[in-house]
Each structure stands twice: as C-alpha cells, then as structure tokens.
Chains A and B, each alone.
Chain A
Amino acid sequence: MVRLYKKHIPLKNHNNIFLGLIFLLMTVPTQIAHSQQQRFPKPEFQTEYQIPETERPNPRAPFMEYLDLFLLLAVLSLTTWLVLKKRSRKWILWVSVFSLLYFGFYRNGCICSVGSLQNLTLSLFNEGYSVSFTVLAFFVVPLLFALAVGRVFCASACPLGIIQDLVIVKPIKLSPWLQKSLGLFPFIYLGLAVLYAATGTDFIICRFDPFVGIFRMGAEFHMIVLGISFLLIGMFVARPYCRFVCPYGALLKICSLNSKYHLSITPKDCINCKLCKDSCPFDAIDFPTDEKENRASRKDFWKFVFYAALIPVLMFVGGWAVSGSYKLLSSAHPDVYLANLLVSQPELMQNTENLDIETFMSSGKTLEILVEEAKIIQEKFRFGGWFLGAFIGLVIALHLLNQVIFRKRSIYEANRGDCFSCGRCMDYCPVGKPEHPFFKDKPEMVVKS
C-alpha cells in the first residue's frame, strides 16, 4: 500500500494536488523563506540507478593569492631598479603593460591595493570581519615602497593608473590653482571611504571603480560610461582618476612626499637646460623659484599665522558640519534606508512590488527592531562624522597653509607628492648623453657621467 501511494500520488492525483498547491501559493505570501521539506519521499529505484553527487567545483587554489603578492613585490622591486638605476622609461612601460594584463585583465582588477584599504578599515572596526594576510600585504607594501622610493606602485603596478597612462594623447597643462583644488578631492574621498567601510555600509571605492568594468568586459551601464569618460578625458588631462579621485593615491602621496629616495630627472647635476620643462603630462615637475617674486615678506608671515590659526577652526567647523549631516550620510546604509522609507510612508508596508519591503515583512522582524538598528548605525555616522569632518578641515587648512610656505628651489625636479615615477622626464634630460640633440652644437657642455 505504501509503495502504491508513493508511486501513484504523483501520477494520478497530480492535477488536483497541483491546483491545490497553486491555490495555496496564491493565498500565502509568496516570499516566505522556503526551507527543505519532505513533501515527496525519496524514490526507491528498481534499476541500478545511483543518485549522483552534487558537483562542487573548486575555487582558485589558495597559493595563487601568494603568487599575486609575489608578482606585486617583483614588479615594485623591478620598477624601483628601473627608476633609480637603469633610468629607462621604455622598460617601465613594458613592466606596466605586464601589470595591466595580469592584475587588470587576468585578475579582473581584484585583488587591488586601492580597494584593500576598505577591507582593512572594516576589519579594524568590526571584530567579525578579518582580512587575509595577502590583502594586508597588498595594502601595506606599496605604501612602504612609496616611503622608500616614491610612487613606483602608480608607475607600473596599479592597473587603474596604467590603463590611463596608456591613453594619454595630448596632455594639457592645468592651472596650478585648479590642480591644487581638484587635488583635495582624493582626501575627502578617502575619508568617506573609511567612514563607509568602518560603519559596514558599503565599499564605495570598489562600487565606483570606473575601470573594473573594462577589465571584466562588462558592468552596469553607468559604470562603463564613467570608465570610458575617464579614458576620454584622460587623453587630454593625463591620469584624471589618479590625480583627482584616487583615495589610495592620497595615502601614497603623503608617504612619497617624505620618501628616502626618489626619481630624479637628471642623473647628475641639473644644468637648467629646461628641456624637461614640458615633459611631464601630470604637471609634476617643480620649476626653480623666482627669487624676486617669492621672497617672504612680513605680509606672508601674518598670512601664515592666520592660516595656522585656521586649522583648529576648520577642523571644528568641518566636524560639526559633517556630523550634523549624519542622516544624509547614513541613508546609504540599506537598513537605514529601509527604516526611513517605512517610517515616512507606512502604507508601503503592504507594497508587494518592492522586494526589500516584502522580504522584510515576511522575515518576522518588527519595524521597531529595524528602527532601533538603524538608529545605532546613525549614531555611528554621527560619531564618525566628527572625525571625517575634522580630517577634511585639516586637509583644507594644511592646503591653504602650504600656499604661503615659500620653498627655495634652484633646479628642475620632480614633485615628490605628485610624481608617479613614470620616467618620461628622464628621457628628456641631456645630461650624460653626449649624443643628445641638445649637445650637437655645444660639445663643450657635455657632462661626463
């Protein structure tokens, strides 16, 4: 009898059961989490049939992560040697093409140092989240290299930078004022990325990474548009993402400004021939200072005092302003968003069109709990907002202060903060190259190397 039941229910009464189930499905809210249920028993096969195993294809082998790290170290060390000793733009270019192909197109832009800063932040603020050693190393190694020899990571390891470097056609010079102002954005972006990662809201750097869609040959439409626009702008404003957006670049800049060694345009002594003057597409070459124009005056002294006094003021105002806008900032968190939506429009709770609302309603969680959770997140934003605002205020104040500090310079040299160590300028320097066209009619100027 049991056997008959097993065999015949699905065969004979199926139509009624099926209709009944459809009816049930229509009456019960459809989004109830279905767990595994033994509605139909396991068949007893008469034949030799073996129940197959569910396939479990393996992920990428773990040692491959160490290969990534090894290649990063190799690329950075090689570039360091090429920048400081070999002084060859051509070889730096080839190394960078390799990195673009490997870290960009083969590894699909993930694992990346730029994004790793968010993983690290989240792991520092959230005990349940831990980073792997490889991710930690990807974050730290380029910074240590920057501290030692400048931004070699930007030159030839970062696929985001290299893809822009390769499309430079006719770089235009930006006014220093515009360049400095736009250069503030990476610090603001860095602060925001840290705040959003620390609160566990979102990884905004990855989400708004304009080039990862190109590496993967597919992304949301607006991200592809953004990526292509960055590349089109990049034909004329060289490396726009690196200079005016990249938050990791902001960290590298701070490290590189104080680097022990750095790329130098000339192999020996600068002869002020000005040949390298226009060689840098990134406007990262500092010119010798004009003595008359820049002599520090009494007025400058008072300006300095004023801007220095402005630091705490701007920090406080920034902290107050950003912390005050915590509601706006926190609405990016899905829970806060949902809570806001349901509190402001309670009639939406009956909405079956909205998946998030529907799933929430059928999860059995009450609105009160959701609102409580949202409030905790908002409090985090209010607290973190003080730090973010103070940081932004500090950056702006230091930027202003920097405008009145006069630095005497007698030669053409790379700006350690802005220079990507791409090596273009080195090819323009005639020093040590007697065959250089510059020396053709001035043989007495040849400097022996």
Chain B
Amino acid sequence: MSKLQSRRQFISGCARYSLGLTIAGVIGFSLTNASSQQWLWQIDPFKCTNCGRCATHCVLNPSAVKCVHAYALCGYCDLCGGYLKPGHIARNTAAENQLCPTAAIERKLIEEPYYEYHINEELCIGCAKCVEGCSSFGNGSLHLQIRQNICVNCNECAIARVCPSDAIKRIPADEPYLIKGGFEHGQTL
C-alpha cells in the first residue's frame, strides 16, 4: 500500500510541478505584454456615425453612453439642428418641437440671439438623435461619450461588439475622454 501511495504521490508531484512551470511560463510570457495601466472603453467622436446602437446595446439601461456638449465648438444658434425636430411648429421649448425623445437637452437664453444647450445626463439615453441633427445642420458640438463614472467597464464592451463604424476602443485610463475641442484647437481636437 505504501509503495502504491508513494508512486501516486510521485506522479502527482511531477504533474504538479509541470503545471506550476506551465503557469509560470504563461505569467512570464504575458508579462512581456502586460501593463500596470487600467483600461477603459472610449468612443472616438470623429469615427462615430450616430447609428443609435449605443442606446440599445449597452448592458446598462439607460446606457452609459451620454451625449456631451463641446460648448467651445457650439454656435449657440437659436435654430439648433440638435434641439429642434425637423419640421418643428415653433422655435421654442415646447415638447412637440424637441428632437430629444427624453427632453434631456435644456435650452437657456444667454443673450439675443444666443442660446446655450445643456445636456441633462440623468435623462439622456445616448440615442444620438441630437448628435445626428447637430452634425448634419450645425457644428457637431454635440457628440457621444462613454461616461466613465457610469460605465461598468465590461471585459468586452457590448456596444463595441456591434458598433458599425468601429468607434469604440479600449484605451489606457489616463486619458479617459476624447472630447471634441473648440475651433482654436483646430479640426482634430
């Protein structure tokens, strides 16, 4: 019996050490491509085609993707393609004139004829309707961003999987946002 036991122990020990070596090998090999960075998901607003899948495919409901406003790029127009529905009846804050399905865009008169548009992120569902309107008729100051304080940072972003324009990328955490800049920063950022 003891002979049998020791033989079993020997085989098991050999297997244990070879498994240990394998794991060590995996560690060593992957350390060459590992980093101390934390990784996050980010939308590139210049690639985004406002397809609307951010609203429907995020694991969270409402989505962690929100419309954000690059104020420095905004024309502060009264007639805002992101705020007003095409074919709106009057240019005011009445619900039937608003493009946003959840009335998440708040319009405030700064001075004639300039209006500030502010996104209420509590209400925003990330449907990109306003983004589409703003990029088609306006300066493109409204754009989508993954809100990092809401995002649960899934191992594989469920929106990235279905994004038709490949706009969602995994990026190191030190620059969590790629926000559109103002005119003075030029066209890129």
Interface residues, chain A, with chain B CB atoms under 8 Å away:
7, 10-11, 14, 18, 21-22, 25, 30-31, 33-43, 45-47, 49, 51-60, 62, 65, 108, 110-112, 115-116, 118-120, 123-124, 127, 129-134, 136, 140, 143-144, 147, 202-203, 206-207, 212-213, 216, 218-219, 254-255, 257-260, 334, 355-356, 358-360, 362-363, 408
Nearest CB in chain B: distance from A76 CB, A: 15
**Chain B residue nearest to A108 in the complex (CB):** B152
With a cutoff of 8 Å between Cβ atoms, the chain A residues found around residue B59 in the complex are 212-213, 216, 218-219
Q: How large is the interface on B (under 10, 10 to 19, 20 to 34, 35 or more residues)?
A: 35 or more
CB within 8 Å: A-B pair count: 209
Which among A18, A36, A55 is the interface contact of B73 at CB below 8 angstroms?
A36
Query: Is A58 a contact of B149 with CB atoms below 8 Å?
Result: yes
Which of A56, A147, A360 counts the most chain B CB atoms within 10 A? A56
Q: Give the contacts of B5-30 with A (CB-CB under 8 A).
A: 12-13, 15-16, 19-20, 23, 26-27, 29-30
B94 within 8 A of A: no
Q: A31-B49, A51-B72, A363-B165 are in contact. List 17 more A-B contacts (CB 8 A).
A: A21-B137, A31-B51, A33-B47, A34-B132, A35-B187, A40-B138, A43-B114, A54-B179, A59-B173, A60-B148, A120-B30, A130-B34, A131-B35, A134-B38, A147-B16, A216-B60, A356-B164
Give bound CA distance, A359 to B165, whole Å: 6
Nearest CB in chain A: distance from B160 CB, A: 11
Query: Is A133 a contact of B35 with CB atoms below 8 Å?
Result: yes
Give bound CA distance, A45 to B111, whole Å: 8
Which of A21, A40, A123 counts the most chain B CB atoms within 10 A? A40
Which among A11, A34, A55, A65 is the interface contact of B68 at CB below 8 angstroms?
A55
Query: Is A202 a contact of B75 with CB atoms below 8 Å?
Result: no
Interface residues, chain B, with chain A CB atoms under 8 Å away:
4, 12-13, 15-16, 19-20, 23, 26-27, 29-31, 33-40, 46-51, 53, 59-61, 68-73, 75-79, 81, 86, 110-111, 113-114, 116, 132, 135-141, 147-156, 161, 164-165, 170, 173, 176-177, 179-180, 182-183, 187
Which among B61, B137, B150, B156 is the interface contact of A202 at CB below 8 angstroms?
B156
With a cutoff of 8 Å between Cβ atoms, the chain A residues found around residue B68 in the complex are 54-55
Query: Is A62 a contact of B38 with CB atoms below 8 Å?
Result: yes
With a cutoff of 8 Å between Cβ atoms, the chain A residues found around residue B51 in the complex are 31, 355, 359
Query: Is B61 a contact of A258 with CB atoms below 8 Å?
Result: no
Give bound CA distance, A262 to B30, whole Å: 29
Query: Is A132 a contact of B39 with CB atoms below 8 Å?
Result: yes
**Chain B residue nearest to A46 in the complex (CB):** B111
Query: Is B156 a contact of A203 with CB atoms below 8 Å?
Result: yes
Give bound CA distance, A56 to B66, whole Å: 12
Which among A18, A36, A213 is the interface contact of B139 at CB below 8 angstroms?
A36
Selected A-B contacts with CB under 8 Å, 28 pairs: A18-B79, A18-B137, A21-B81, A21-B136, A30-B136, A36-B141, A47-B111, A49-B111, A51-B72, A52-B116, A53-B71, A54-B179, A57-B150, A59-B40, A59-B153, A62-B38, A110-B153, A123-B30, A124-B33, A127-B33, A131-B30, A132-B37, A136-B27, A140-B23, A140-B27, A218-B61, A258-B12, A360-B164
